[in-house]
Amino acid sequence: MKYSYISHLYCPKCAATYDHNQVNQLCECGSPLLVDYNLKELSQHLSKEDIINRTSDLWRYHELLPVQKKENVITLGEGMTPLLQMQRIGRDMDIPNLLMKDEGIIPTGSFKARGAAVGVSKAKELGVEDLAMPTNGNAGAAWGLYSTRAGIRSTIVMPEDAPKITRNEVAISGANLYIINGLISDAGKVVSEAVKERNLFDASTLKEPYRIEGKKTMGLEIAEQLNWKMPDVILYPTGGGVGIIGIYKALTELKELGWMDEDLPRLVAVQAEDCAPIVKAWQERKEESEFWKNSSTVAFGINVPKAIGDFLVLDALYKTDGCAIAIDDEAILHEQEKIASLEGAFVCPEGAATFVAARRLRKSGWIKEHEVVVALNTGMGIKYPDTVSVNVPTIEIGDKI
């Protein structure tokens, strides 16, 4: 049986097709490219029962991933993160069937390891030797470390306000790291120039087709962990939007394979109040978003003023009867503390935002009492130490506590 059932690349805007055996970036029309698979053929050779005894990482789904030869797989053991019952915080917000998909325990400390694992593996298979990308932190950390494991040189540009820990991860990987006085959009302009001048492979969000394939494994895992049944709602912190696009793609492919026959869950794009271009576009029923000026949030990973794949995010929301919601920083930090005190889980600010969103959507009645709700925590809280401030008493030696 084939290791991968990849068929071709296609443009979701103009329907142009491309050969997946060649290095591709964006479509000629400027749109991101997506990966298509021979799902009809695959359905004749693989069943969901065949997956059960495979290794507990994302490569258990290798037929639905783009790497054609196993020897090109670059892995640090990423994937199959826990889907946790959140009973106490669930009771607190009147959502008894609240679950958290916890990406904090994955290699490099965030869900970005998924996109890096698959993206770097495919880059290796295609003969890429140098890549470059802008990052808000976690993606650069993941791509820097995975590129080193693959023997690929990497150039990473990040805003000066990016979390120091992610900066250190990139630096220690041996990548060429540059810090810019600006936003990720400014870092993107620098990378675009470097790509043209030095003929580098552009690994920017959705400017290559394979990061999304790694991210979609979150959707595949959620489906398997729920015994191949759909949840009612999935909430996702949305910056570049690759995760929510990937989850939608994964569940759509599973339906086409015949492994699931229920309606897709309602997808929720969660953004920060001071950087909410997707929310504004969804409220106005637009197909694309506008650039968000002077964006700022403690949830640094979703501080993306304009996503190249915004039209794909919005399409997923519209087709699943989902929604988009913006959360203020104060509420994010309060919820982060509440989750830790009630559940013992130190989630990242982006993850905390999804819990605030669930709380507010339940209060408004959009989420019903007995619905199965999955909130995505996309990284470790300890990667953002400056978001937490505590007053701890100091004692002298010999003092009683």
Cα distances (Å, whole numbers) of residue 79 to 6, 117, 211, 290: 20, 10, 14, 33
pLDDT of 399 reads: 85
pLDDT of 363 reads: 98
Report d(CA 156, CA 187) in Å as an integer. 9
**Which two tokens mark 277?**
């271009």
Q: What is the CATH number of domain 83-108+213-383?
A: 3.40.50.1100
Summarised one tens digit per residue, pLDDT across range 145-159 is 999 999 999 999 999
Q: Where are the domains of the chain?
A: 83-108+213-383
- Residue 238 CB contacts under 8 Å (≥ 6 apart), including other chains: 244, 269, 270, 271, 278, 302, 307, 313, 324
Q: Which amino acid, residue 188?
A: G
220 pLDDT higher than 90: yes
401 pLDDT higher than 90: no
201 sits in which H/E element: strand 201-202
Average pLDDT, the chain: 95
pLDDT of 163 reads: 85
400 pLDDT higher than 90: no
Average pLDDT estimate for 127-136: 95
Contact 303, 295 (CB under 8 A): yes
214 pLDDT higher than 90: yes
